[in-house]
Amino acid sequence: MVFASKRPIEVTLLVDKHPCEVLDIFRKYEIKAQITNVKLRDQVTDHIAFLKINDDILKELKRRSLKTLRINENTIWIRTNGCGVCKLLYHSDLIVEKVKVLSKATVMYKLLLPNLSALKQFLEELNSIRVEATVANVSEIDESELTDRQLEILRLAYKSGYFDVDRKISMKELANKLGIKASTLEEILRRALKKAVKYYLDRKS
């Protein structure tokens, strides 16, 4: 399928032999673990992992991470400096919709990019840090429909009081909650609100 170069796209990307520090620890100690959540930040990356925790594993995680917090018997919060992939994702012209660890070496990302040129540039930047990625799927975004990420952020903004007359949360605070930059959140909200207003006006007309 041929895409128009200026249309935004949604991409499913598979990164094999991922350089994640946390996954590296799990591989080294042959730990059966599941990373259930990942939050990208400017200087660090937060991971929530589900595994059988023992003293040796905990000691190694604390030694190789910035912060390790045991949430419950089998869940642990791990903060690292962030690998090259995480830093590239955070600073690139894209939006991370979903992160899923498929195995001890493979991570799946669902990304929103402004066009195919941005995807090509991102793949080249991954290659420059010696990370190979496979594009599993590319699809044009229907500009009339909210993406899952846009809907998620609108709901959180609404529940957090962002749209209240006496605003209960700032743009920066909301961005920190989501683990993204304020400028990125502003752009997501702008696009999402435009679609929501258009949908409402079309139904009323």
Q: Is the pTM of this model over 0.75?
A: no
Our CA dihedral for 152, 144, 172, 87, rounded to 10 degrees, sits at 80
Provide the b/e sequence for 95-119 (b: ≥16 CB within 10 Å): bbbebebeebeebbbbbbbebbebb
Q: Do 124 and 56 lie in a common domain?
A: yes
Instruction: Provide the CATH number for the domain around residue 177.
Output: 1.10.10
CA atoms within 13 A on the CB side of 12: 8
The predicted pLDDT at position 14 comes to 96
Q: Do 134 and 175 lie in a common domain?
A: no
The predicted pLDDT at position 5 comes to 46
Which contacts (CB < 8 Å, 24+ apart) does range 178-186 have?
Answer: 178/153, 179/39, 179/40, 179/41, 179/46, 180/40, 180/95, 180/96, 181/42, 181/90, 184/95, 185/153
Taking all residues of the chain, what is their mean pLDDT, rounded to a whole number?
85
Q: Do 79 and 34 lie in a common domain?
A: yes
Q: Do 153 and 135 lie in a common domain?
A: no
Boundary residue ending a domain (89, 117, 141) = 141
Q: Do 130 and 163 lie in a common domain?
A: no
Q: Is 176 contained in some domain?
A: yes
**Residue 190 structural domain:** 148-204
Number of domains in the chain: 2
